[in-house]
Amino acid sequence: MSTDTLATAASTGAAGADAVVELEDVVRVYPGHPPVRALRGLSLRIDRGELVGIVGPSGAGKSTLLHILGTLDQADSGTVHIDGHDVGAMNDRQLSALRAHRIGFVFQQFFLNPGVSALDNVADGLLYTGAPLARRRRRARTTLERVGLGNRMHHRTNELSGGQRQRVAVARAVAGRPSMLLADEPTGALDSASGAGVLDLLHELHSAGTTVVVITPDHDVADSLPRQVHILDGRIEHDERRTR
Amino acid sequence: MTGPKPNGRAGAPTPSRLRPRDVLRVAASGLRARPLRAVLSALGIAVGIAAMVAVVGISASSREEVTEQLEALGTNLLTVAPGQTLGGQQATLPEGSVDMVARVGPVTSVSAVGEVDASVYRSAEIEETHTNGLTVLATRTDLLDTVGGTVSSGRWLDDALAGYPTVVLGANAAERLGVSRTDGTVSVWLGDEWFTVVGTLDPVPLAPELDSAVLIGWPAAMEVLGFDGAPTTIYERSPESAVAAVRDVLPATVNPSSPEEVTVSRPSDALAAQAATDETLTTLLLALGGVALLVGGIGVANTMVIAVLERRSEIGLRRALGATRAHVRRQFLGESVLLAGLGGVGGAVLGGGLTAAFASTRGWPLALPAWVLAAAAGATIVVGALAGAYPAARAARMSPTTALSAP
């Protein structure tokens, strides 16, 4: 199984020079009766510049994995390195700094501020970097142009279509040029045409060098990605790369 | 495999930072999203602040009015009256005491009245017991200048009139006797004589005892009513700087043989004391305003608790964008302070308006001390911070994953 070879590679550190994500034997258990073992010793390595799909049915542990990758949640055991940092040893301020500068999030529900222009929604992606407003807006403008919404900048997001909204959300996530873009079911709330458009955008970002991790229950979405990590019951079932 | 990678971006990321100006922007945008709710909760604070500002403003304006009045009347008037003898009897002032006071160096003017044992009636038919509580005072003609009184209608006693049965009525006396004509056609029954009314006075703030008195000339009192010529109250003015010194020497001057039988008082003190007694009421009203402010603060806290519950996904998103717990706490604390501040500004304007309106209906000067506005601003910041502390702490404590999975 390729999982084992990857885990071995990560632990030896032989090819660790360019890893954005290194998970080793990560366990996450939610307390309760009975306790929910969401991740049961999962190891995963994602290199800089990869476009990876994390696929699995609901309840497989995808969301937990996304939270661990996004440093929003901590592993109960095992080690997590994001962009070279040992997440388990970091405090709230350090983790927030990592999220502000190195990780971009895209959510299924977009989470945009409806009464505010697309431009300011994207600019808010840089809010916690401490950049002044003018610079945030400048950055937001170029990023919106990059995702093909240069002509919708001053529209409020509730005046945009679903596909356009998710493009705004993607722009917000990549405006700070993060080391990794985490997309949680980015096409889940979209019709197939808009979904395909958003996927094309992720492909574009990938070919421009961004590391993208897409979490999806949809095999069709996953099939379009160069690498697919299938997870089931908190473990990696198989990890396949499509060679082009 | 631990430790930072030798890759260019692997150094520790710059800490998250939320500029102070952005705290304000974020807080304001939170309020703008629900304007009606913001206005209603700010209104609670506004009512409390308006009440407190108005109470302090109105009482300050009233004090200002008294101060202006005192300035106009002068605070240098002293009155000398007989006290009690050692045996507990009512003392009297010696006959020549007025002249003796006049000889005290700094004294600029002096006058006196003497109580006459007589009663005054509108006509001879009225029963003797119906005196209306009026006193009859033998009056020196220089009295009006010394006490700062003014004639309301008719004329004041002069040296000629003082020898004849003529009378000038104090403001209350004129009202109680029902006399308004002062053209010499109206007389009152005084002692066993008709006295012609030649004038009435305006109220005399520094000598209110004159308001319910009828004043007759000194010679007339002696000739017609058998007045013994002993003054019962001496009025005296001296320069402001000498008042204390004059006050000390007056008893011995007036009655060298038994100075302890003389009481000296300063009528302006009574007016000032009256203004001071209002402060108890002011404090009570201020406390009531404070209760209103407290209730307003509870309203803000309630609004903030609901806002935190409603905006869980926003909190989760902000955490994902790199907000620290402190940033989230600051955002909601800022929102709460801003909300209270909004109410505070509204309340200060409202309270100032109330004060101005009240003062203008009373004809008072408008006095709104700057410290009141500063205190109002301080109070709203404290109330906002207290009201927001718990909701903000709750928002900050929320785990990003539960916040994001909120519906």
Domains along the sequence of chain A with CATH: 49-73+90-241 (3.40.50.300)
Q: Nearest Cβ partner of A128 from B4, B12, B17?
A: B17
Backbone angles phi, psi at A183, to 5 degrees: -115, 115
Q: In what order do the strands lie in the sheet with A51-55?
A: A103-106, A180-184, A211-216, A51-55, A227-232, A235-241
Q: Of chain A residues 125-154, which have a CB less than 8 A from chain B?
A: 125, 127-130, 132-133
Backbone angles phi, psi at B63, to 5 degrees: -65, -40
Burial (CB count <10 Å: 0-12, 13-18, 19+), residue B35: exposed
pLDDT at position B101 is 80
3-state secondary structure of B15: coil
Q: Are B322 and A92 a contacting pair at CB < 8 A? A: no
- CA pair distance A165, A171, nearest whole angstrom: 10
The closest alpha carbon to B267, from B114, B365, B146, belongs to B146
Stretch A192-210: mean pLDDT: 92
Q: pLDDT: is A207 or B367 the higher one?
A: A207
pLDDT at position B356 is 93
**A60: CB partners within 8 A, 6+ apart:** A231, A232, A233, A234
pLDDT at position A160 is 93
pLDDT at position B1 is 38
What is the pLDDT confidence band of residue A4, given thresholds at 50, 70 and 90? very low
For B133-180, write each residue's pLDDT tens digit: 888 888 888 888 888 888 888 888 888 787 788 888 888 888 888 888
Residue A2 has pLDDT above 50, yes or no: no
- CA pair distance B36, B192, nearest whole angstrom: 79
The first and second tokens of residue B24, run together, are 């304000």
Stretch B83-99: mean pLDDT: 76
Contact B321, A100 (CB under 8 A): yes
Residue A1 has pLDDT above 60, yes or no: no
Contact B25, A123 (CB under 8 A): no
For B113-128, write each residue's pLDDT tens digit: 888 887 888 777 777 7
The first and second tokens of residue B23, run together, are 């705290």
Q: Give the end-to-end CA distance of chain B in Å, rounded to a whole number.
A: 39
What is the pLDDT confidence band of residue B407, given thresholds at 50, 70 and 90? low
What does the DSSP assignment read for A34-91?
SPEEEEEEEEEEEETT-EEEEE--TTSSHHHHHHHHTTSS--SEEEEEETTEEGGG--
On the CB side of B143, how many CA atoms lie within 13 Å of its CA? 29
pLDDT at position A99 is 95
Tally helices (H) and strands (E) across chain B: 12, 11
Stretch B195-216: mean pLDDT: 85
Distances (CA, A) of B23 to A167, B42, B128, B171, B319: 27, 19, 83, 66, 15
What is the pLDDT confidence band of residue B106, given thresholds at 50, 70 and 90? confident
Q: How does the average pLDDT of chain A come out, rounded?
A: 89
Contact B45, B344 (CB under 8 A): yes
For B24-65, write each residue's pLDDT tens digit: 999 999 899 889 999 999 999 999 999 999 988 888 888 888
Taking CA A171 as the corner, what is the angle to CA A169 and CA A172, rounded to the nearest 5 degrees? 65
Long-range contacts of B122-125 (CB under 8 A, 24+ apart): B122/B177, B122/B178, B122/B179, B122/B188, B122/B189, B123/B189, B124/B189
Q: pLDDT: is B4 or A22 the higher one?
A: A22
> What one-letter code names the amino acid at B221?
A
Best of A6, A30, A83, A96 to disrupt the B interface (most B CBs within 10 Å) is A96
The closest alpha carbon to B351, from B60, B28, B20, B10, belongs to B60
Among chain B residues, CA nearest to A66: B401
Burial (CB count <10 Å: 0-12, 13-18, 19+), residue B168: buried
Q: Are B400 and A17 a contacting pair at CB < 8 A? A: no
Q: pLDDT: is A239 or B157 the higher one?
A: A239
Q: Nearest Cβ partner of A72 from B15, B19, B401?
A: B401
- Chain B neighbors of A13, CB-CB under 8 A: 1
For A9-44, write each residue's pLDDT tens digit: 333 343 445 899 999 999 999 998 899 999 999 999
Beta bridge mates, B213: B135
pLDDT at position B8 is 41
Region of poorest pLDDT, from A68-77, B31-40, B63-72, B271-280: B271-280
CA distance B401 to chain A (A): 6
pLDDT at position B3 is 39
- CA pair distance A168, A153, nearest whole angstrom: 9
Residue B391 has pLDDT above 50, yes or no: yes
What is the pLDDT confidence band of residue A118, given thresholds at 50, 70 and 90? very high
Among chain B residues, CA nearest to A91: B324
Q: Of chain A residues 58-77, which have a CB less than 8 A from chain B?
A: 63, 67, 70, 72-73
The percentage of chain B sitting over the pLDDT mark of 90, rounded to a whole number, equals 32
The percentage of chain A sitting over the pLDDT mark of 70, rounded to a whole number, equals 92
The first and second tokens of residue B109, run together, are 């003017």
Q: Nearest Cβ partner of A16 from B5, B15, B18?
A: B5
pLDDT at position B212 is 85
pLDDT at position A7 is 39
What does the DSSP assignment read for B193-210?
EEEEEEEEE---TT-GGG
Taking CA B65 as the corner, what is the angle to CA B60 and CA B66, rounded to the nearest 5 degrees? 100
Q: ω into residue A178 within 30 of 0, thus cis?
A: no
pTM of the model: 0.75
The closest alpha carbon to B270, from B214, B209, B358, belongs to B209
pLDDT at position A15 is 43
User: Cβ–Cβ contacts within 10 Å for residue B261, how many?
Assistant: 19
Region of poorest pLDDT, from A61-75, A119-133, B3-17, B70-84: B3-17
Contact A43, A23 (CB under 8 A): yes
Q: Are A97 and B12 a contacting pair at CB < 8 A? A: yes
According to DSSP H, which parts of chain A are helical? 2-12, 62-69, 92-102, 118-123, 133-146, 162-174, 192-207, 219-223
Q: Are A130 and B33 a contacting pair at CB < 8 A? A: no
Residue B270 has pLDDT above 80, yes or no: no
The closest alpha carbon to B217, from B137, B119, B151, belongs to B137
Q: pLDDT: is B359 or B132 the higher one?
A: B359
Burial (CB count <10 Å: 0-12, 13-18, 19+), residue A109: middle
Q: Which residue has the tokens 């497989």?
A: A60
pLDDT at position A14 is 39
Best of A48, A102, A127 to disrupt the B interface (most B CBs within 10 Å) is A127
CA distance A93 to chain B (A): 6
Q: pLDDT: is B171 or B74 the higher one?
A: B171
What is the pLDDT confidence band of residue B322, given thresholds at 50, 70 and 90? very high
pLDDT at position B2 is 40
Beta bridge mates, B164: none
Stretch B329-352: mean pLDDT: 94
Helix (H) or strand (E) holding B66: helix B35-73
pLDDT at position A11 is 38
Among chain B residues, CA nearest to A178: B9
pLDDT at position A6 is 39
pLDDT at position A189 is 87
pLDDT at position B12 is 79
What is the pLDDT confidence band of residue B273, given thresholds at 50, 70 and 90? confident
- CA pair distance B302, B306, nearest whole angstrom: 6
Which ipTM value was assigned to this complex?
0.90
Q: Are A127 and B18 a contacting pair at CB < 8 A? A: yes
pLDDT at position B222 is 81
What is the pLDDT confidence band of residue B233, given thresholds at 50, 70 and 90? confident
According to DSSP H, which parts of B137-266 are helical? 143-147, 171-177, 218-225, 243-254
Region of poorest pLDDT, from A83-87, B84-88, B339-343: B84-88
Residue B4 has pLDDT above 50, yes or no: no
CA torsion A91-A95-A100-A101 (nearest 10°) is 110
